[in-house]
Structure 1
Amino acid sequence: MFKVHTALFVVSAAAVLACAGLFVPVLADTGPERAEPVAAGARPSPTTTAPSTREGPGQQHCLIGSWQVVTEQLMFKFYTDVDPLPFTSTGGLRYYEFRPDGTAIERNVNFTMVGSYRGNELRYVRNGERTFTWSATDKTITYHTLPATSLVSDYYDQRGRLDPGTELPNPNFNETDDIACSPTQTIESTTRESRYSAMWTRTADYGVYG
């Protein structure tokens, strides 16, 4: 849900890394590609060291209600000098509330994605809440703005915890993903480079499917 959210680097710091033989670190640019992690600080690879006033989606739309992510996969560029790597959800909670007025909330509690590089485990862990606006058809969902967020992502490799990433609101955010929604289950996916896909199950926490 919602696949998504560049930090600036000090030139002298980059020079120090270069002298130490380190690759220039990656910056994860996200918003949702809702599924991708938040922009973070330096992460060199270990090889070298305002709400929208649009009309809502309509009272009867299948997505209205609350959902919990069951599985999630994506390709994510964890290191600048390494191609995107596959990550899969392994634990924690990601939860959505889609409301008929066209607003939605995403909540993350230790939501963990795990990948690997050269036999070493990579993790990013998301915590926090985001508010966004949305509209949908029977086959797509569009996220229009990200007016509020407290989302923080922590990154880990074999060296331990790396620099965390903090997301900022983005009133210009716009993204469309594919969906297949039923009364009890939704599949969200994209053909973009991240190859994001996720399955959600409906909960009874908010609203009633019409």
Structure 2
Amino acid sequence: MSDTPRLPPTPAIVALIAVAAGAVIAATTLTTVALSADEPDRCCPAGADGPVTGPSPSTRAAETRAAGPPMCLIGSWRSVEEIHSIKFYTDQPPMQFAGTERRYEFRPDGTGTEINENYTLSSNWRGRQLKIVGNGSVQFTWKATDNQITYVAVTNAELNFQYYDHRGLLNTLPYANNPALNEIDDYICQGTQMAEGNSNGYHSTWVRTTGFGVYG
């Protein structure tokens, strides 16, 4: 999910997605926050059957049920590559950030969890390292077809992101619930591997783990 790192916009900040994306999660373009690129002094916020014959003629209603989610998605995953396009500084174009080791759980009831434990997105700008570090978890709802996954909403976020450049820690910001996320990513799932992405510069590759039921 690329939208995970997205932050609520504030006067001195710019929003991002990726989560990507959504993821989480996200997804959407990761957005972060920041100031002047040259020497920013503050940052971040970024049908029925026929009649039944018998003693008493009657009809029987058709028995139908909604199709379940694609089984390959159900289970636990760990990202081994994530690429996000993030606008870190307000006066600079979006930059490519890379990260790994974010964990996900997708459950058959359409709920999921994104887990961040020192999840780090890194980039370089003019020889200086930029970092976004996330710790915490996000509960989300989702649905999917055979080739697209929709992150419907973030229902409970207990997640903070810290923003760094060459001067050190710039700011720490919480990730907010988003009942109208509606992030749509394309995906391919085959056995123990999955890849998802979108047109906003987000791409992620995952491998299956045994943390939650194994399917597919």
Give TM class, smaller chain.
Answer: 0.7 to 0.9
Give the counterpart letter for 2:15 in structure 1. Answer: A
Q: CA deviation at 1:45?
A: 3.3
Distance between the aligned counterparts of 1:178 and 1:139, measured in 2? 6
Q: 1:30 to 1:59 in 2, by over 3 A?
A: closer
Match of 1:8 in 2: 10
CA contact (8 A) 2:78 2:208 kept: yes
Q: 1:173 to 1:189 in 2, by over 3 A?
A: same
Q: Give the RMSD, CA atoms, in angstroms.
A: 2.2
CA contact (8 A) 1:38 1:165 kept: no
1:94 and 2:94 aligned: no
Match of 2:151 in 1: 143
Q: 1:185 to 1:57 in 2, by over 3 A?
A: farther
Give the counterpart letter for 1:26 in structure 2. Answer: I
CA contact (8 A) 1:69 1:199 kept: yes
Q: CA deviation at 1:129?
A: 0.2
**Would you identify which runs of 4 or more consecutive aligned residues in structure 1 move more than 2 Å?**
1-9, 25-40
Q: How does 1:21-170 map to 2 (within 5 A)?
A: 25-30=12-17, 32-33=19-20, 34-35=22-23, 43-49=34-40, 58=68, 61-89=71-99, 93-170=101-178
Distance between the aligned counterparts of 2:32 and 2:126, measured in 1? 23
Give the counterpart letter for 2:13 in structure 1. Answer: V
CA contact (8 A) 1:77 1:84 kept: yes
Match of 1:197 in 2: 203
TM-superposition CA deviations, 1:85-128 (whole Å, max 9, x none): 01111x5x311000000000000000111111111110111111
Q: CA deviation at 1:186?
A: 0.2
Q: Give aligned-pair identity as a percent.
A: 40
TM-superposition CA deviations, 1:20-58 (whole Å, max 9, x none): xxxxx5323448342565765xx3134033xxxxx9872
Query: Secondary structure of 1:151's partner?
Result: strand
Normalising by structure 1, what TM-score? 0.79
Give the counterpart letter for 2:197 in structure 1. Answer: S
Greater C-alpha Rg: 2
Normalising by structure 2, what TM-score? 0.77
Distance between the aligned counterparts of 1:44 and 1:7, measured in 2? 13
CA contact (8 A) 1:38 1:166 kept: no
TM-superposition CA deviations, 1:57-89 (whole Å, max 9, x none): 726521000000111111100010000001111
Q: 1:64 to 1:196 in 2, by over 3 A?
A: same
